[in-house]
Structures are given as C-alpha cells and as structure tokens.
Chains A and B, each alone.
Chain A
C-alpha cells in the first residue's frame, strides 16, 4: 500500500463548477500537508500549505485536513480554464531533520470553457 493515495483522474468539469480533489494517507505521523499545481511541461509549484486539521482558505482555493480520517482535500471555487493542470498532494511528518516530502501521484484536471 502506498503511503499517499490520490486518484489520477483525469477529471473534467465545466467552467464555474466547484472542484474537489482528494488524497488519503496511511502514515499517522504526517503533520504538514501541501498541494502543488503543475502546468504542462513545467515543474510543480506550491499552491497551498496547511498544518493541523481544519480548513485554510486562499482566494478561490480551500485546503481541508481531517487527520482522524487521514484525508485531505483541495476545493476550487468558480473554476477557470487557467486552473487546468495536474494537482499533487504532498505531506511530511516534521519540519526538521531528515523528513522528506511524500507526494501523491497527482490528479489531472481540465476545466472546460
């Protein structure tokens, strides 16, 4: 079993719809959770970062963490064609020492105009 599971998609939704992207994980030590966005032929870039359970909002994006269920989500409101990209979740147990980031495989999202 992989430490982080993410549905690879592809996921296609019409412009303006709410998008929900999810990851589950098995390692209860994970404390830091991130969402990266990757446009075609580019390296991933950090979109959202959360620590602890709960919601974090940034513009049209909301990151949600449920540690009891080992489940994280990214919601995109009023989706735009420019949101079309691959979204990768990532997580880490600690901010110190030798802890490495563990990534999901990514979900390819297409917003249809």
Chain B
C-alpha cells in the first residue's frame, strides 16, 4: 500500500525567512512524488514532481523539493517566504511498482506567512 504523511497541520513563518513543509512517504517500490497548493477558494494547483533523476526538483513560484530515498522524505522548501505563499499544501505519492493508477494525498499542511 502507498501512503504519505504530512506531520504538521500548520507551519508559521515570517516573510523573508526560509520555509519547509514536511512530507514522508511509504511505498513498496519506487515513488512518484508530487506537491500541490490550494489557495483560498480555489482548486488545487500543481507545484512540482519527482519522477526520476536529480533529487532536487524545482517548481513553480520559486518552490523546490528534495527527494531523500533513505529518509523516505520529499520536503517542500523555499528560500524566502512571501505573504502570498499562505495556502494549503498537499504532498502526494504513487508507487511505480503497483497496479494502482491513482495518487494518494496527505492530509495537508497550512502555511501561514506573517508580514
């Protein structure tokens, strides 16, 4: 079975400071990993994905994520937070080695950036 955990319900950070939103996953094979963001009253938007290759993945709006196989983690990072980054962030995983076609999403982490 595939699963993903986002251990923090909420992350608070001051504008201009670096931010990290944590994600760990569990799969039997190799993972496809994704980050999505949901701004207030809007649908989810794709941020970035890891399929294979370079462990550091760069995405939209200055976000990046690092795939760490030994720690089974895929933390989302940004060097300098903006107030406009305040949103709900979801990590998702798919096990490449199973027949399951769909993603499994985490419970979400609310990022609050204070001015």
- The answer to whether A and B interact is no
**Residues on A facing B (Cβ under 8 Å):** none
